[in-house]
């Protein structure tokens, strides 16, 4: 997960175990991602997530190759858009959380690319949507796993749009504007999810981040991921970290 705190110095995805040499938080006891063992989770019943109306409309965003991945932020000074229009409340979190960015993690092949694992299962890709409570600075991240679409027309069309655009940003600091519908990208109305407290998954690996890992999977075409592997970078994920006795909750629908 990248955020505004991301540092481009001293790190890459070739040896994530070396990050702590320059970023001490990376050696902390509450790091992300993790392998979630579903039988070891605590059942909870969280309130519904409530999103602002802008999540259901097409908004203009800017994709940026930041040297580590392609992050997407709301386009500035266009059509009166404002980050304050994109927010959510509820889901067991206190306060209002505003959109910061979204981005995708992937691997060299379809066997691994996700950051979080579920019962040891790896997925070909994982999306992160980063939000911030402007009152207290709390960060919250929604994570979604991907599966390879059985047929090309089963692919989530918004993510197809993302990979088509992102794969054209061949150089660091290349940008492109594109419209996206966040509700179509996230599918966050799915109420089955895991919840725990962890960290950023990129340096400086700051802890205290509230993670919501949704169970519903998003279909993506293998060719879409191949575009990113061939044009951007082959691997963009951090291996799982130790849980260290943290409590992992699971939202119960009962």
The catalytic residues are 68
Question: Is residue 143 a contact partner of residue 126, using CB atoms and an 8 Å limit?
Answer: yes
Residues 6 or more apart whose Cβ sits within 8 Å of residue 37: 119, 248
Token readout for 97 is: 């959380």
Q: Work out whether strand 117-118 and strand 207-214 pair parallel, antiparallel, or are unpaired.
A: unpaired
Token readout for 206 is: 């700051």
User: Distance between CA atoms of 100 and 107, rounded to whole angstroms?
Assistant: 24
Q: Work out whether strand 207-214 and strand 193-199 pair parallel, antiparallel, or are unpaired.
A: antiparallel
Token readout for 76 is: 């500035």
C-alpha distances out from residue 169 to 67, 231, 242, Å:
10, 8, 34
DSSP category for residue 112: B
Residue 88, number of CB atoms within 10 A of its CB: 22
Residues 6 or more apart whose Cβ sits within 8 Å of residue 245: none
Token readout for 223 is: 């060719």
């Amino acid at each position: 997960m990248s955020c505004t705190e991301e540092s481009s110095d001293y790190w890459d995805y070739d040896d994530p175990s070396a990050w702590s040499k320059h970023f001490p938080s990376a050696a902390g006891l509450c790091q992300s991602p993790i392998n979630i063992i579903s039988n070891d989770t605590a059942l909870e019943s969280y309130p519904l997530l409530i999103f602002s109306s802008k999540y259901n409309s097409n908004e203009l965003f800017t994709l940026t190759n930041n040297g580590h991945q392609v992050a997407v932020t709301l386009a500035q000074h266009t059509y009166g858009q404002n980050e304050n229009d994109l927010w959510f409340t509820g889901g067991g979190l206190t306060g209002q959380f505003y959109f910061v960015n979204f981005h995708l993690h992937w691997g060299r092949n379809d066997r691994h690319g996700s950051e979080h694992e579920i019962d040891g299962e790896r997925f070909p890709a994982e999306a992160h949507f980063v939000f911030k409570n402007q009152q207290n600075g709390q960060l919250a991240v929604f994570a979604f796993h991907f599966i390879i679409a059985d047929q090309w027309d089963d692919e989530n069309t918004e993510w197809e749009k993302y990979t088509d655009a992102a794969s054209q940003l061949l150089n660091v600091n290349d940008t492109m504007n594109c419209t996206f519908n966040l509700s179509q990208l996230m599918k966050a109305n799915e109420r089955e999810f895991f919840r725990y407290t962890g960290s950023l998954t990129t340096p400086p690996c700051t802890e205290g981040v509230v993670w919501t890992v949704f169970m519903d999977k998003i279909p993506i075409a293998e060719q879409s991921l191949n575009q990113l592997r061939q044009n951007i970078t082959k691997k963009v994920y951090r291996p799982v970290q130790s849980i260290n006795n943290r409590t992992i909750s699971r939202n119960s629908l009962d």
